[in-house]
Amino acid sequence: MKSLVTGVAGFIGSHLAERLLGEGHQVCGIDMFLENYPRRLKESNLSGLTGHSRFKFVEGDLAQMDLTELVQDVSYVFHLAGQPGVRASWGREFDHYTRNNILATQRLLEVCKGQGIRKFVYASSSSVYGDTEDLPMREDSRPRPVSPYGVSKLAGEYLCYLYWKSFAVPTVSLRYFTVYGPRQRPDMFFHIFMRALCRNEEIPLYDDGTQSRDFTFCSDIVEGTLAAALYPGCGEVFNLGGGSRTSLFEAIKMVEDIVGRRARLNKLARQQGDVRHTEAELARAREQLGYSPRMALKEGLAQEWEWIKGIGK
């Protein structure tokens, strides 16, 4: 069984590739090493993969390179590559989001036509829902993203649907909710927060701290992603969340308890594109994918803290 993982040097992609190898898959991983954070961290993410007899790494740009060879004899495509980040997606930076999230997705779908793949799993985001008080967020709710990033991820979902509807590419889209854990990107809150605690630095807190998120541990995301690959249906969308909603202040208190140190918070204004609350309705994923998140938030945060200490200041 051969799988293609795009964005394999990233946070979730590297965890997924390791799990696929553990399941006996041959894995071809591709990454272009976007400059959104240091290459050395991404290369460190790959350390558990390189040298494995069933792993092949390709450095390349999905929006530019010939993709034909990548998908030959591939049973499963896990498309996790993309330009991340809500706050960075405004203005001229949107060029990167249209290229790396929309164009790259369309090119990969195009080359998958008629290849006989079993499933094309697309990593979308809870950002497609926008800033709504209608919680929990349901897959059949009307998406209204409030950031250019959210728009680009929603465009990817629509591309997946139309390539399934028009060309029978067997797609499933997954809306990930605030993923955390070891290898989390340096621009994400828990990584910023824990690194600042290590350095005894002031920590930026946007908005008033009462905003809440459905935090999802990376291993739960991997389980849901694998389940989507085995799901017999196509052309559908599923939420993957952690199973509960927690305010940022509550999460900060958990980390303080784990570390044994109080945080020095620098309260700043809410940023454009940020939403107040997220919460995933998981009924559809539980029923059709057998998805059941297992990691309690405090336990998962403790694992991320151990990783943060291990990579140094």
Residue 129 is a catalytic residue: no
Residue 82 burial (CB count, 10 A): 26
Single out the catalytic residue among 76, 97, 149, 231.
149
Tens of pLDDT, residue by residue over 193-235, are 999 999 989 999 998 899 999 999 999 999 999 999 999 999 9
d(CA 300, CA 130) in angstroms, rounded, equals 26
Per CATH, the architecture of 2-179+216-243+279-293 is what? 3-Layer(aba) Sandwich (3.40)
In 137-219, at which residue ranges do the beta strands (DSSP E only) sit? 171-176, 179-180, 203-206, 212-213, 216-217
Tens of pLDDT, residue by residue over 237-262, are 999 999 999 999 999 999 999 999 99
Sorting pLDDT into bands at 50, 70 and 90, what band is 312? low
d(CA 148, CA 151) in angstroms, rounded, equals 5
Q: Which of 54, 42, 66 is nearest to 18 (CA)?
A: 54
d(CA 131, CA 144) in angstroms, rounded, equals 8
Tens of pLDDT, residue by residue over 53-94, are 999 999 999 999 999 999 999 999 999 999 998 988 999 999
pLDDT, residue 272, reads 84
Please, are residues 172 and 232 in contact by the beta-carbon 8 Å criterion? Answer: no
Q: Percent of the chain beyond pLDDT 90?
A: 92
